[in-house]
Structure 1
Amino acid sequence: MCLLFFGGFTTGKSLDVNEFKAYAKSVDEISTPQEYNIIALGEVTHGNKEFQQLKLEVFKKLVEEHRVHSFALEGDFGGCEEVNQYIHGGEGTLKEIVQKIGFQIYKTEEMMQLIEYMREYNDDAEEEQLNFYGFDMQRIRYSFDALKKECVAEGVDLSFLDNFIIDGQWNQNYSYEEKKDLLMKLKKTLELKEFNGDLIHFVDVLLQNIEVLHRKDTDGSLLRDQYMAENVSWILQKEQQRGNDCIFISGHNEHVAKWGSYDSMGKLLSNQYRYYVIGTNFYKTRCNLPEGNHKRTIQTFYSHDPLAKTAKLAGFKMCWIDFSSLEEGTEIERHADAYTYMGTLGESYSIMNRFLPPSYRMFQPPTTLYDSMIYVSNASPTKIIE
């Protein structure tokens, strides 16, 4: 019964093709209202070229039409600061820089192209330059390195943190309480010396990492979304101080979505800011996924999404649907408002994905989660750069 509920192994039903064509637009035609503080782009998988390419396509459009000057990624906070230094003329190669974002999924040609665009833009910019941020806290190496470098330069004694982190990992000789107490001691020292918020936030990110690792299963996942929302809020406030009232962020669909029943990053941000989110989905994906032992595999899945299937039948390789444009009573509007099958693949794979459609699909109303969606008919796998 569970398999049938999640659509089984078929490709699903479709809607009226002509009606769909009347609302479908190209990605070049994406328009978002000017009054939003945060514009988010989701990716239904981490292992497809098209969803990584969309980051650059949508960001370019926002830079040109909305004067957005910052890009924030579901990537390591400290590692993305290394990227930010690079796009402002820092040393290194593109291949070296993408390695620092903290996750294998970003070691791709598509991410290199995004970073290269930002560096070239800044090289030519006469006024406001672009900035690159990360809002995840699952890695600690680069955040700690940046913190240590700045503290040493400012004459802050960090001898009490000797051997605190070894090879980018917490020293296991320190307990959860000891790690937290030492970082809180450092944070208090920095606050008393009135250091800038950037330096103190590196401490906050390290504290976030400790807390997430300390929690188990669902609690850790919920806390991670909460902390990502806090980090995005910090990024927005930093950009607003520079005179920029809107930022662009990108992460997995499940994080950026405005869930009704789950306190995702997107839901938390939408409760606090003027938040616009573009979701993505595939009709068919050949997705690059990890399968253990540092190996990856290419696996094929169908989302069973009637909107994605209709996009395929209508002849679109990729198209955008603005849910606010759908006329009441139309078939497409009814399906967008109703519980609908959609794909969802993270950075994991097991043999159970072949037998359990619920492991790579969700059943939610698209308009509850997103303001609009981009549909890709045939998503192709990324190639990881070693």
Structure 2
Amino acid sequence: MFALKKSWFVTASIALSVFLAGCGTGEAVENVAQYTSTVETIDIPNDVKVIGFGEATHGNIEFHELKKDLFQALVENEDVRVFVLEGDFGGAQQINQFILTGNGTAEEAVNALDYKIYQTEQMIALVQWMHDYNRTVDENEQVYFYGNDMQRYDYSKIGLLDYYEKVNGDAAKGYVKQLEHVSNETMRELTNSQLQELDATMDTIISDLQLNSPVYRSSSSEESFALALQYAQIMKQRTQLFLNDSNYAHLRDQYLAENLQWIVDFEAARGHDKVLISAHNGHIEKTSASLAGYKAMGDYLEEIYGEAYFSIGTDFIDNTFQALNGSSGERKNYTLEHHNDLVDAFSGVEENVFYVDFEQASTSKELATILSTEQKMGNIGDDFRSWYKFAKMFYTIEMIPNEAYDGLIIVKEATPTTVIE
């Protein structure tokens, strides 16, 4: 018993020391407002093709609202026409159809993502704005919505089978049978043997699409064929994640990057050469700084696009956010105060939400030093426990800001979202 108590005391002492080591606050730097701007006036370099927007948490109103505010600014000022979300590819196509055709409602479209973190009034407002915007412009100026994630089956399966119904009815009947047990509801119940069989089925479908592409394209269109092939690739990726669970995080970010590249190429062929991708900070940043040890999507994107990838992170000071309460499945609000030299340097800025361009800020010697020094930057997922607040390693990633991002949006006081049940 004494040994157990001693072990607990040592563990608690280590946790407390880590907490205390990260609790210090930096100092406000004078006259830093000159290096800030509003989100509406963010200036993106002309040669940029992909703009990454990271959110420090999934559970804050301000970060959700920033998706709309930033995209609207980029549409109006930078000729961006494509919004990509770290969300289900197939489900996002339901949103895309809503904003293009107006069928259904924005709330119904958002629910197709099957991600609770996005079932908020703020996400509905973004989708409704895109729908309304498309009613006011010519077809060549319309905006489009995509997801680049692969963690669901249902809507990609529907899109794929609907396509086969149009181009090869006999094959469609066979694939309907082979895929009848595959769904979002059942996917975690599939045995390893069933997953291997499903993986082989997806290889067969992909091969069939590729071998018969001239016939299928002539029976449909270039775009619908490309989408069908991508639906199949998404289902293949989802299956591979299950079959390679120990390598899940690395594979997922690799797939996120591959799927984004597909979207960029697909839309570039239609004359849209600039894309905004919204995801968690840990996926957007360029340095793969997460202690989980996987290569981040942003790292891949910098390799692919070089300076044509522009990364904008976010951070906060006072934050009340919503997240899942561990394994309970219930959502609750948590509150914490977060400091590092970077956010504290700008703590004297009057606005609650503002943008810092790192190239401009680096003309200040004091800020240049901070930007090139490791900082514990805000990083909260959709799963949290109250005791995480006692050690910064559980809600931050240590990174060098000007290597990870090209700019940062700071929210001094962030408030919690409410998930629509």
Out of 159, 165, 169, the residue aligned to residue 186 of structure 2 is 169
Summarize deviations over 1:89-125 as a string: whole Å, max 9, x none.
1422222111111210100111111101111111121
Cα shift at 1:315? 2.5
Q: For 1:154 and 1:327, how far apart are their aligned partners in 2?
A: 56
Summarize deviations over 1:296-353 as a string: whole Å, max 9, x none.
1100122222222343333231111111112456211111110012111001012431
Summarize deviations over 1:215-263 as a string: whole Å, max 9, x none.
234x210110000000000000011101111111100000011015652
The answer to whether the Cα contact below 8 Å between 1:19 and 1:332 also exists between their aligned partners in 2 is no
Aligned partner of 2:342 in structure 1 is: 307
Cα shift at 1:354? 3.2
1:224 equivalent in alignment to 2:252 = yes
Shift in CA distance, 329/96, structure 1 to aligned 2, threshold 3 Å: closer
Shift in CA distance, 222/384, structure 1 to aligned 2, threshold 3 Å: same
Cα shift at 1:372? 0.3
1:254 equivalent in alignment to 2:282 = yes
Cα shift at 1:294? 3.3
Q: How many residues align?
A: 384
Summarize deviations over 1:360-383 as a string: whole Å, max 9, x none.
122211111100000000000001
Segments of structure 2 that go 5 or more residues without pairing to the other structure are 1-13, 217-224
Normalized per residue, the structure richer in helix is: 2
The answer to whether the Cα contact below 8 Å between 1:42 and 1:279 also exists between their aligned partners in 2 is yes
Give TM-score scaled by structure 1 length. 0.94
Aligned partner of 2:156 in structure 1 is: 143
Out of 280, 297, 300, the residue aligned to residue 265 of structure 1 is 297
Q: Which has the larger radius of gyration?
A: 2
The answer to whether the Cα contact below 8 Å between 1:11 and 1:303 also exists between their aligned partners in 2 is no
Aligned partner of 2:113 in structure 1 is: 101
Aligned partner of 2:25 in structure 1 is: 12
Q: For 1:49 and 1:327, how far apart are their aligned partners in 2?
A: 30
Aligned partner of 1:350 in structure 2 is: 385
Shift in CA distance, 35/105, structure 1 to aligned 2, threshold 3 Å: same
Give TM-score scaled by structure 2 length. 0.87
Residue type matched to 1:84 in 2? Answer: N
Q: For 1:6 and 1:245, how far apart are their aligned partners in 2?
A: 45
SS of residue matched to 2:47: coil
Summarize deviations over 1:37-86 as a string: whole Å, max 9, x none.
10111100000010111111111111111111110000000000000001
Q: For 1:356 and 1:140, how far apart are their aligned partners in 2?
A: 37
The answer to whether the Cα contact below 8 Å between 2:317 and 2:338 also exists between their aligned partners in 1 is yes
Q: For 2:125 and 2:365, how far apart are their aligned partners in 1?
A: 40
Q: For 2:149 and 2:356, how far apart are their aligned partners in 1?
A: 29
SS of residue matched to 1:342: strand
SS of residue matched to 1:101: coil
Question: RMSD value over aligned CA atoms?
Answer: 1.9
Q: For 1:335 and 1:5, how far apart are their aligned partners in 2?
A: 21
1:371 equivalent in alignment to 2:397 = no
The answer to whether the Cα contact below 8 Å between 2:39 and 2:73 also exists between their aligned partners in 1 is no
The answer to whether the Cα contact below 8 Å between 2:199 and 2:239 also exists between their aligned partners in 1 is yes
The answer to whether the Cα contact below 8 Å between 1:139 and 1:209 also exists between their aligned partners in 2 is yes
The answer to whether the Cα contact below 8 Å between 1:311 and 1:319 also exists between their aligned partners in 2 is no
The answer to whether the Cα contact below 8 Å between 2:362 and 2:371 also exists between their aligned partners in 1 is no
The answer to whether the Cα contact below 8 Å between 2:102 and 2:131 also exists between their aligned partners in 1 is no
Shift in CA distance, 380/278, structure 1 to aligned 2, threshold 3 Å: same
The answer to whether the Cα contact below 8 Å between 1:42 and 1:257 also exists between their aligned partners in 2 is yes
Show structure 1 runs of 4+ deviating over 6 A: none
Q: For 1:246 and 1:191, how far apart are their aligned partners in 2?
A: 28
SS of residue matched to 1:40: strand
Segments of structure 1 that go 5 or more residues without pairing to the other structure are none
Summarize deviations over 1:1-45 as a string: whole Å, max 9, x none.
6655565463622232x2322312222221111111101111000
Residue type matched to 1:140 in 2? Answer: Y
Identity of aligned residues (%): 30
Q: For 2:194 and 2:55, how far apart are their aligned partners in 1?
A: 36
Which residues in structure 2 correspond to 1:331-346 (within 5 Å)?
331-346=366-381
